[in-house]
Amino acid sequence: MLTAIVCALALGQAPVLDVPVRLRLDPVQEDADDAAIWVHPTNPGLSLLIGNDKTAAPVGGLHVYGLDGRVRQKLLSIDRPNNVDVEYGLRLQGRPVDVAVATERLQRRLRIFAIEPKTRTLRDVSGKTGVFEGEQGERGAPMGIGLFRRPRDGAIFAFVSPKEGPTDGYLGVYRLQPSGGKVDCVPVARVGRFCGEGEIEAIVVDDAAGVVFYADEGHSIRKIAADPDSPEFGRQLAEFGHRFYQGDREGLAVYDLGGGRGYLLSSNQIKGGSEVLVYDRRSPHALLARLRLGADDTDGLDCTSRPLPGFPRGLLAVMNSEGRNYLVADFGEILQRLNQSLTRR
């Protein structure tokens, strides 16, 4: 495998792999945009997929799906929810609670929801969650979000990108702080370089590696250190993904194979036929393949390597603009095609 990766990098190849869609989620009303996956702590069959309808209230909101692709819950009147992410084990009123956090762009704040395993529903626990306070115009409007759970103490931080931002310190970093049954956002820092053209929306945190990947949409993918207590915090560790994009660099997700191995996925937003670019999770982040699922104008995506019913090696969910929905692929099939492609080279 490593020899194949080195050869692929040296030749500059990026094979295109067609991947079948195994599940189509029910459509949202206006504008599907981003996806997140929550895995149930004791019964994987009860896991949830969370998508957003990125429009103004009262239509805008989160749609919660079961693994059958059907809507289980709608959380509406969220004022243009731009992106959503999931994290596990926030200490709230003395017990660990999994949370889904969305950016509420038109209200300039985050919306934080506790995920209840017994009922498989989301409950709003938002406290004081304003972000980018004091910023004017689009510099105060949150878009992207990636959550980081620090392994040593379980503290959870949100990396948030505004619609517009400076060339240095584009991302806002906030600690999720429980307060009387609610969760507040406490500002920590501003980090992250920006090329100055386009915007930054897609963010994903690799908790195990302690790094943040974010997409400088018209330029590259950047990697920075995630832990605010580390002397390396915010330092750029890598920059890659300059080639093979016909559209913006959009959604990002990490597929974890354990031991530091795995893949970073990035959506190449193309009208009529987007691609998902697959990079080695490890530096120097060689480009391994381009996946096509038949999705249109893909923005957000998410994946998991956790075994789920019907998806023993996990799944990949991508936004499909034309259908106003999300398409789901079996990650086992992706791995099979990826391994075959690398072996042939």
pLDDT at 208 over 50: yes
344 SS3 class: helix
Residue 38: how many CA atoms within 13 Å on its side-chain side? 31
CA-based torsion, 309, 313, 318, 322: positive or negative: negative
pLDDT of residue 340: 86
Residue 239, phi-psi category: left (phi > 0), alpha (psi -120 to 50), beta (remainder): beta
Q: Provide the number of structural domains found in the chain.
A: 1
Over residues 327-345, the pLDDT tens digits come to: 999 999 999 999 888 776 6
Please, which residues have CB within 8 angstroms of residue 203's CB and are 6 or more apart in sequence? 83, 144, 145, 146, 159, 160, 161, 171, 212, 213, 214, 215, 252
**Comparing 12 with 246, which gets the higher pLDDT?**
246
Can you give the CATH number for the domain in which 224 is found? 2.120.10.30
Considering only the C-alpha atoms of the chain, give the largest distance between any 2 of them, rounded to a whole number of Å.
Answer: 58
pLDDT of residue 345: 62
Over residues 113-161, the pLDDT tens digits come to: 999 999 999 999 999 999 999 999 999 999 999 999 999 999 999 999 9
Q: d(Cα 192, Cα 165) in Å, to the nearest integer?
A: 10
Domain that holds residue 59: 2-344
Q: Structure tokens of 225?
A: 């250190």
In the DSSP assignment, the letter for residue 278 is E
Over residues 28-80, the pLDDT tens digits come to: 999 999 999 999 999 999 999 999 999 999 999 999 999 999 999 999 999 99
pTM for this predicted structure: 0.95
